[in-house]
Amino acid sequence: MQTILTESPEVAAGFIRNGGVVAFPTETVYGLGANLFDALAIKRIFAAKLRPADNPLIAHIGDLDQLELIASEIPESAIRLMDAFFPGPLTIVLPKTQKVPTVATAGLKTIGVRMPAHGLAQDFLKACGTPVAAPSANLSGRPSPTDWEAVMEDLAGRIDCILQGNPTDIGIESTVVDCTSPVPMVLRTGGISLEQLQEVVPETSIYKPRGNEKPRSPGMKHRHYSPRAEVILVEGVNAEPGEGVAFIGLQVPSGNFGELKVCESLEEYARSVFAFFRDCDRHGIKTIYCQAVEESGIGLALMDRLKRAASGK
Ligand code: AMP
Ligand code: MG
């Protein structure tokens, strides 16, 4: 299959309306979209990414009116969180309608909904005229793509089209909050911090599966965010330099590294980490040292991604 590159949201939306799969930029990472109500098109997302069938997709909307097509009920906590953070890097999990095919939700009776705060994504979603189901536009297990070149690297020849935008602003995925339980539960940390959520709904908590409980966010058990190089999480600049060795963090380590990225802020660290992982792979780096950060604000989501990359899970 030929993958068309375009800067036109209308051209990209044309592929969605014809049952195709299209990568598009958002403020978090690039997504790989298909018409939410077209089960065959949704299956093509799973095939292109080699994504396990038990990993649900997020429904992206360009218009709040589309919510009633997707969600059968909108609890009070969800209304408050949507008022505060839509459009933005927040996904709300709600009970799904019959109309949403179960392939999209990996068999779950719930659906994650997000409205991106990104001009080109909004123009694209409006032109599609339908909610668009989209996971991140990478091969399953690889670091999420933060520029269209990374999408090309993983998916050229496997998808219909890439809507070319700028590199993404936040660089890690949306926060996923389950609003189907009395207390909103954070299933995945991300672009909106726990502190921000708690300002709006103070009882919001981080979900941790108890004992043998089936995890509520099935996708989180799969291997994630992994470069080919080994990732080692370190305190401070405690890293062994070398040619095939890389370092990313907030302080300057001593010695010479094959790849080095010193970030000025947590935000820059989060924005750069996945692209850095991919750069390291392109340059044959064998070991990547990542400086640990404090687990508050965006630091909580960043540490989640670093720990998963380091553990290979
Ligand atoms: P990705 O966009 O590739 O990061 O994948 C979307 C992720 O959102 C999944 O791996 C899940 O962790 C989460 N997610 C999506 N839909 C649901 C849902 N209905 N219930 C729980 N988690 C979900
Ligand atoms: Mg993903």
Greater confidence (222 vs 120) lies with 120
Q: Determine which of 98-107, 129-138, 217-226, 233-242 has the lowest per-residue pLDDT on average.
A: 217-226
What average pLDDT does the chain have? 96
Q: Determine which of 35-44, 113-122, 216-225 has the lowest per-residue pLDDT on average.
A: 216-225
Closest atom, ligand 1, to C-alpha of 108? 19
Ligand closest in space to the Cα of 173: 1
231-252 average pLDDT score: 97
Confidence at residue 236, expressed as pLDDT on a 0 to 100 scale = 97
Any ligand 1 atom below 6 A from CB of 70 = no
Contact of 142 with 93, CB cutoff 8 Å: no
pLDDT digits (tens, 9 = 90+) for 168-180: 999 999 999 999 9
7-19 average pLDDT score: 98
Q: Is the pTM of this model over 0.85?
A: yes
Q: Is the pLDDT of residue 251 over 70?
A: yes
Ligand closest in space to the Cα of 113: 1
Spacing, Cα 242 to ligand 1 middle (Å): 38
Any ligand 1 atom below 6 A from CB of 45 = no
Confidence at residue 214, expressed as pLDDT on a 0 to 100 scale = 72
Spacing, Cα 151 to ligand 2 middle (Å): 12
Q: How far is 248 from 271, CA to CA, in rounded Å?
A: 12
pLDDT digits (tens, 9 = 90+) for 263-305: 999 999 999 999 999 999 999 999 999 999 999 999 999 999 9
210-214 average pLDDT score: 73
H helices of the chain, where? 9-17, 39-49, 67-70, 76-85, 119-128, 148-155, 194-200, 266-282, 298-311
Spacing, Cα 124 to ligand 2 middle (Å): 20
Spacing, Cα 67 to ligand 1 middle (Å): 17
7-15 average pLDDT score: 98
Based on C-alpha coordinates, what's the Rg of the chain?
19
Residue 90 CB-density burial (10 A; 0-12 exposed, 13-18 middle, 19+ buried): buried
Q: Is the pLDDT of residue 309 over 70?
A: yes
Q: Is the pLDDT of residue 218 over 80?
A: no
Any ligand 1 atom below 6 A from CB of 29 = no
